[in-house]
Amino acid sequence: MRHQGGACALFRFGLRTIYSLHSRSGSEVGAPAGGVDVSVDEQDVRIGEPMDRIEGQGVGEAGAKTEDDCSRHEPKLARTTAAHHNAIAHVTSNAGTGMRRERSNERGSTEPDAAVARRTVLRGVIAVGGYLFLPTTGCTGPRPPVAPLLPAPSGSTRQPAAAEETMMMPTEYTLPPLPYSYDALEPYIDAQTMKLHHDLHHKGYVEGANAAMKALQEARGSGDFKLVDYWSKKLAFHASGHLLHSLFWTNMAPAGKGGTPSKELTTAIDSFFGDLDKMKAQLSAAAKTVEGSGWGIFGYNPFDQSLVVLQAENHEKKTIWSVVPLLVLDVWEHAYYLKYQNRRADFVTAWWNVVNWQDVSKRFAKARQLKGLE
């Protein structure tokens, strides 16, 4: 605020000076010697004085640098502003003589000394202004408020975390139970495949993620990170496998019980894909053409509020960091080989009969509350 107040005071002082010169110009600039008095009282422009004293109007505490704020900088300012004192002294000693001396400028022209004096006064004002805005510690101007990088979502009811709350890394993952019986998805996915898939493969990802977390925790305790590359890869692989499988089970329901996409989800799909059939065609193609083992993923990207279809190789590769998975299709061979053998395309086509659109719609409603990178 000191810089803003000083600027206002300096501006008013300059205007009064210019107005005073202008008001005399009609009758006195062209008059005989002694007719012009453009002297400036040095008391009015003393270097280092608070601007409210210079102005005589009380700029106020927020508009002036106080002596307490800047007294410790006077030695430096005295050296820095010696040229400004000389400029003021020149104005006060020579501007009021009234003599009509002729002087030549760089182009060889001549002009009345009164005009030169007027320019000198203005230079003095600029000199005062230059002093006022020196970047001295303790006298710096206000900084503008910093806006948050990303605004909070409209209508958000999220409350700030309590002071005593702390974020804790998980120490162990657990295998979630299936939300239905092993044979609930027949005839499209057989019971034996479901049992092996959930009880052995998914369990393996949970155990692998827990082992990786434990190893990394021990590394932090001992300070020995020689195997950090190995365990970081293991954690990414197994934890991603655990997450996607947990979502995969809830994304499915017995045939005829999965409902249809909500109105909001349908509108969004129509906007980004054209219609539901086109989205299904793109997700099917992505899943069928995964190289090796992986997933087809339909998700929501809060970074740009868009819907997207992705491929994932293994569980963690070829992803977009900000995308929230809404509907995932496992095309690892263990997901279909007992019934479909190498006919992955047939499995993908059959899988659409057990999609739980109610679950997908709920996930979309939650995901769309996110904005940016919150």
User: What percentage of residues in the chain have a pLDDT greater than 90?
Assistant: 50
Phi (first) and psi of residue 47, to 5 degrees: -65, 135
What is the C-alpha separation between 29 and 7, in angstroms, rounded?
30
pLDDT of residue 146: 36
Phi (first) and psi of residue 296, to 5 degrees: -105, 135
User: Domain locations in the chain?
Assistant: 2-132, 191-367
CATH of 191-367, one of 3.55.40.20, 3.40.50.970, 1.20.120.330, 3.30.420.40: 3.55.40.20
Is residue 61 over pLDDT 60? no
Top pLDDT among 216 and 138 is at 216
Is residue 173 over pLDDT 70? yes
Is residue 323 over pLDDT 50? yes
Is residue 364 over pLDDT 60? yes
Is residue 46 over pLDDT 90? no
Question: In the chain, which residue ranges form alpha helices assigned H by DSSP?
Answer: 2-28, 51-55, 67-70, 74-80, 82-94, 113-132, 191-196, 203-222, 228-250, 263-273, 276-288, 337-340, 344-351, 357-367
Average pLDDT over residues 206-213: 97
Q: Quick one: the chain helix, strand, coil %, rounded to 5?
A: 50, 10, 40
Query: Residue 110 — left, alpha, or beta (φ > 0 → left; ψ -120 to 50 → alpha)?
Result: beta
> Contact 58/52 with Cβ under 8 angstroms?
yes
What is the C-alpha separation between 24 and 342, in angstroms, rounded?
101
Top pLDDT among 304 and 8 is at 304
What is the C-alpha separation between 70 and 226, in angstroms, rounded?
55
pLDDT of residue 1: 47
> Contact 347/210 with Cβ under 8 angstroms?
no
User: Where does the pLDDT of residue 359 fall: very low under 50, low under 70, confident under 90, or very high at 90 and above?
Assistant: very high
Top pLDDT among 42 and 342 is at 342
pLDDT of residue 239: 96
Average pLDDT over residues 81-93: 46
The segment with the largest mean pLDDT, out of 72-81, 83-92, 298-307, is: 298-307
What is the C-alpha separation between 28 and 26, in angstroms, rounded?
6
pLDDT of residue 75: 45
What is the C-alpha separation between 255 and 103, in angstroms, rounded?
101
pLDDT of residue 281: 98
What are 272's two structure tokens?
């980004």
The segment with the largest mean pLDDT, out of 59-63, 314-318, 341-345, is: 341-345
Helix H or strand E encompassing 310: strand 306-313
pLDDT of residue 203: 97
Q: Which residue has the tokens 């090796």?
A: 292
Top pLDDT among 238 and 51 is at 238
> Contact 258/354 with Cβ under 8 angstroms?
yes
Top pLDDT among 113 and 96 is at 113
User: Where does the pLDDT of residue 231 fall: very low under 50, low under 70, confident under 90, or very high at 90 and above?
Assistant: very high
Tell me: the pLDDT tens digits for 149-160?
333 333 434 454
Nearest 5°: CA angle at 257, between 253 and 258? 60
> Contact 80/48 with Cβ under 8 angstroms?
no
CA 27 to chain centre: 61
What is the C-alpha separation between 29 and 116, in angstroms, rounded?
11
Is residue 8 over pLDDT 90? no
> Contact 344/288 with Cβ under 8 angstroms?
yes
Is residue 301 over pLDDT 60? yes
User: Where does the pLDDT of residue 112 fall: very low under 50, low under 70, confident under 90, or very high at 90 and above?
Assistant: low
What is the C-alpha separation between 215 and 196, in angstroms, rounded?
27
Residues 6+ apart with CB under 8 A from 252: 185, 189, 258, 351, 354, 355, 356
Is residue 76 over pLDDT 90? no
Top pLDDT among 319 and 212 is at 212
Residues 6+ apart with CB under 8 A from 345: 288
Query: Residue 365 — left, alpha, or beta (φ > 0 → left; ψ -120 to 50 → alpha)?
Result: alpha
What is the C-alpha separation between 244 and 193, in angstroms, rounded?
17
For the ranges 130-144, 161-175, 263-277, 293-307, which has the lowest average pLDDT? 130-144
The length of the chain, given as a count of residues: 374
pLDDT of residue 187: 97
What are 198's two structure tokens?
């959930």
For the ranges 4-13, 155-164, 181-190, which has the lowest average pLDDT? 155-164
> Contact 311/318 with Cβ under 8 angstroms?
yes
pLDDT of residue 120: 55
Mean residue pLDDT across the chain = 73
Top pLDDT among 94 and 270 is at 270
